[in-house]
Amino acid sequence: MDESARHLGLLTETIAAVNSSLDLEEVLGLIARRVAVALEADACFVYLYDERSGELVLRATHGSHVEELTRTPRMRPGEGITGTAASERAPVMIAAQAHLDPRFKPFPNLPEDDYESILAVPIVARDGKLEGALNVRTIQPREFGESEIGLLLSIAAQVAQSIEHAQLYAQAQLRVHELESLARISEAVSESLYLEESLEAIVKTTIAAVGATGAALVLEDEKIAWPEGRAGAYAVRLPLRWKRRQIGELVCDRDTPFTDEENALLASIASHAAVALEHGRAVMRGVLAQEIHHRVKNNLQTVASLLRLQSRAPDLDPRKALEDSVNRVLAIAAVHEVLMERREEEVELADLVDRLRAMLVQGLASGKSVESALEPVLLAGDRATALALVFSELFQNALEHGGSSVRVELGRREGDVVLSIFDDGTGIAGDPETGTGLSIVSALVRDELGGTLALASNGAGLRAVVTFPA
């Protein structure tokens, strides 16, 4: 009676302790600890059955430990002494030299050879579903009695329900985590009008959602839109599909394999990423169209103003006026070309000036030497248009009225951009800014660039220097 009462008390205490938590890892640790105490054993090992792999996987130990940096011990039902108990749904007890039993399965990172006896029992749910198995070990030989075997079976039967509840709780927590991750992605997609921000949020949320080492979104042209983190031993690539068309891939890396649940979550994230990508592209197309219309309107107004100014010039030569107007329109077109190639709001002036130089030399210079020293300088698109017109006027003037050589320089000096054009002609006499072209240059430099134009002629050529804030 005393032993039965003690076993009943141990059973009650063990089940109460196990049921005190819904966290699966905590439950398994409590099981190993309380079972070892209840049976006065030196060690306890708890295995859970993984339905996907069909294996019993060691999840908790007490009185021993698994060596780090090695594979987690696992076995199929029927393998080893504990696997035999699981497959036969019956206890297996060996009083001494358990490691010499033909059913014994050794693990290099689990020091089971230190123990003499073993008592293994299955963990079976009420519906007969296998949930796992556990065993207790002693260093000294020990014959477990019928009452002790019955106690361990009773504990295992109750533990099965606790494990099932903890697994359901873990699954519920996983679903909450998945929904929170998807909600954060949806929020980022809906709130941000900028594609880069949406893609960054998706990648970072992906890494946090599955504990990845790195992730990236790869677009149709294999361009990586947003990489984060590092590569891992395992990688998944999920297509981004929009209206039955693949528009990219979500790549996710980790040092451990991905579960089916995590793959399903990544598939949902990939769907959100496809929506974000198309949403961002649609916004960008709208913004780009609006910007193009705005620039075209402004440039047409500029062309109209230049033509109007040209028409008021005295002693107008129609052919010359038409050629000058064509060159001005081409200068504006060159700015558009550079902007579209860069797909940015700024123009690389060295590239722009070099294109204009080549275009004008081809049309005007016959055997003239043209040198250039151009430093990289970035300028906003609207100001670049003004500078293109200024350069075209000054360079065309140097080609038409200068000597045999022209030199162009572009650089920065103390926060200013400096454009200089030299020729070795005879220079100009009188007020140099009375011509139509130079009047246009002076107005553009003053009003659009906020700078100054300096012309110097000493009878041995003309030096034109445009200086404006960068």
Alpha helices in 312-424 (DSSP H): 318-342, 349-364, 381-401
User: In the beta sheet, which residues pair with residue 408?
Assistant: 372, 421
Choose between 192 and 136: higher pLDDT.
136
Percent of the chain with pLDDT over 70: 69
| 426-447 per-position pLDDT tens digit | 766 555 555 666 777 788 888 8
pTM: 0.44
- CA–CA distances in Å: residue 305 to residues 23, 253, 309, 311, 447: 76, 58, 6, 10, 14
**Out of 99-103, 298-302, 415-419, least confident range:** 298-302
- Residue 187's SS3 state is helix
Residue 307: is its pLDDT beyond 50? Answer: yes
What's the first-to-final CA gap in the chain, in angstroms? Answer: 96
pLDDT tens, residue by residue, 379-388? 877 787 788 7
Mean pLDDT, to the nearest integer, of 153-180? Answer: 71
Residue type, 138: T
Better-scored residue on pLDDT, 275 or 428? 275
DSSP-derived letter for residue 114 is: G
Residue 96 is predicted with a pLDDT of 92
pLDDT: is 467 or 159 the higher one?
467
> Domain locations in the chain?
2-171, 176-283, 313-469
**Fold classified for 313-469:** Heat Shock Protein 90 (3.30.565)
The SS3 call for residue 408 is strand
pLDDT, tens digit (0-9, with 9 covering 90-100), for 332-356: 566 556 555 555 567 788 887 887 7
pLDDT at 69: 40
Mean residue pLDDT across the chain: 76
Identify the CATH assignment for 176-283 out of 3.30.1540.20, 3.40.50.1370, 3.30.450.40, 3.65.10.10: 3.30.450.40
Does residue 259 register a pLDDT over 80? yes
Fold of 2-171: Beta-Lactamase (3.30.450)
- Strands ordered across the beta sheet of 55-62: 74-75, 55-62, 43-50, 130-138, 117-124, 92-94
Q: Name the 3-class secondary structure at 84.
A: helix
Indicate the range of 73-87, 264-278, 355-369 predicted with least confidence: 355-369
Report yes or no: 57 and 48 within 8 Å, Cβ to Cβ. yes
Q: Which residues contact 281 (CB under 8 A, 6 or more apart)?
A: 195
Percent of the chain predicted with pLDDT > 90: 11
* pLDDT score, position 138: 93
List pLDDT tens digits, range 116-132.
999 999 988 878 888 88
176-283 has the same fold as 2-171: yes
Q: How far apart are CA 152 and CA 294, in angstroms?
A: 81
